[in-house]
Chain A
Amino acid sequence: MSNPSAQDIAFSANGLTRYFGNKLIVRQCSFAIPRGTVTGLLGLNGTGKTTIIRMLMGFLPPMRGSSSILGINSQSLTAADRMRIGYTVEGHFLYRWMHVAECERFQAGTFARWNSKQFRETIERFGIEPSARVSHLSRGQRAGVLLALTLCSMPEVLVLDDPALGLDPVSRQALNETVLEFVESGDRTVLLSSHLLDDIERISDRILIMVDGRIVVESTVENLLNRLSTCTLELDEDTKTLLSIPGLVYMRRIGRRWTLTIVDMDSTTESILVSLGGQTFVRNQTAFNDAAMAYLSRTRGSNSFLSNKTSASASA
């Protein structure tokens, strides 16, 4: 999958840029998400995840750059094209006075294709009775109804903007199962944003990490973990010495003990660290949560951590 052809790409962005007023929210974002994969979009609140999703969905025009879904420019999506796309966002509207089964009947008429069996199976997974009134459902169950309604139209791609927000563990598991089942056929694709790193690690093939409006990581989960090392060492040096370490993604200090996350660490970098930390130097594999946190923790003030090697972008 090193160079997938255009028809193998479900979502793509090329230099997407968006301001709100004078504020630059999304900066020159480019990515290509292959069909048949689950991609997790990670980023802190306010980093531009929802803006990028809205541009991708064609709800918001970019100021520069372009994006496409299933090879169709986001800004030219027709109603028929949109039938091929499932989209849910936290806070989507459901009539509170309706029963769950009524929600389905109400929405079924507006779609060319509709699969009621899919609805029943999905709500069952979330433990929802068709006779339940929407106003009596938990937050997780309401999310389940929304997801079920989205899947009924048999979309080819699914875009979920923070679907796990506020869900209990049972609903989260139901959500994960539903996403994995959706891609099981092999040609359907999911893009979901989330803050739940454990869930993203479990279900994703690929991840995009956004920091400060930029995509800083586009990689398979496996490739990201293979390329990152976590090192600890004790020293009294100030940060200046460590900032010049090639491939430094993030560093954290507790007393004299430093923890560094480094991308594509080679023997030269290792010998620099050994010379600084001596016997205290330890190199470990990086856990997914730590890898994601290392990137997410880079705030506006720490752009000096960015070097040519720290993008960790990989299309493998």
Chain B
Amino acid sequence: MQIRIVAGSNTAIYKQIADQINRSVASGELEVGQMLPSVRQLARELVINPNTVAKAYADLVQSGIVETQAGRGFFVAKRRQVYTKTERTRRLDESIQSLINQSFSLGFSTDEVLDRVRELFTKALHNVTESSS
């Protein structure tokens, strides 16, 4: 898995890392039980402060996407729900709100955004099916 970060982006660097790992787990590129690079290793690779990587990993652990094994490192966790339905909905709404805000400021209509969401969703689901078959 290749992680790329952009400094100066609207998305904080730790969030970019967490998002990319999250996406790789969802698409099956990273499999359950697979070990992630150590905090120090990834920080060196990306030339960023190790605390930023640690924060990304901590977020992934909190979301249940990654788990720590004492002294061994960080691993992709078995998929499970760590939030209540209400909390999941709240988190989803937060992401959708951010999408709506971006869409407004970039000047896309509701239909254009929805079409694009469908298109990318289909593509992502296709990737998951391909990698699991």
Contacts and interface: CB of A to CB of B under 8 A. Distances in A.
B64 to A, nearest CB: 22
Describe A's contact surface by its main secondary structure. helix
Contact of A201 (B13, B50, B104, B105): B13
B47 A202 contact: yes
Interface in A169-213: 173, 176-177, 180, 184, 197-199, 201-205
Interface in B24-68: 40, 43-44, 46-52, 55
Contacts of A205: 49, 51
Contact of B101 (A204, A283, A288): A283
Contacts of A283: 101
A203 B44 CA distance: 11
Describe B's contact surface by its main secondary structure. helix
Contacts of B102: 284
A203 B49 CA distance: 5
A232 interface: yes
A286 B102 CA distance: 13
Nearest to B48: A202
Given A201-B13, A222-B55, A177 B105 contact: no
A288 B51 contact: no
Contacts of A204: 49
A14 interface: no
Contacts of A38: 49
Contact of A287 (B8, B43, B48, B49): B8
Contacts of B52: 202
A284 B55 CA distance: 21
B7 A282 contact: no
Nearest to A174: B47
B47 A176 contact: yes
A201 B15 CA distance: 13
Nearest 9 interchain pairs by C-beta:
A198-B7, A289-B8, A287-B10, A202-B48, A198-B8, A201-B7, A282-B101, A176-B47, A202-B7
25 contacts: A38-B49, A176-B47, A177-B47, A180-B49, A197-B8, A198-B8, A201-B7, A201-B13, A202-B13, A202-B48, A202-B52, A203-B48, A204-B49, A222-B14, A222-B55, A232-B105, A282-B104, A284-B98, A284-B101, A284-B102, A284-B105, A285-B98, A287-B8, A287-B10, A288-B7
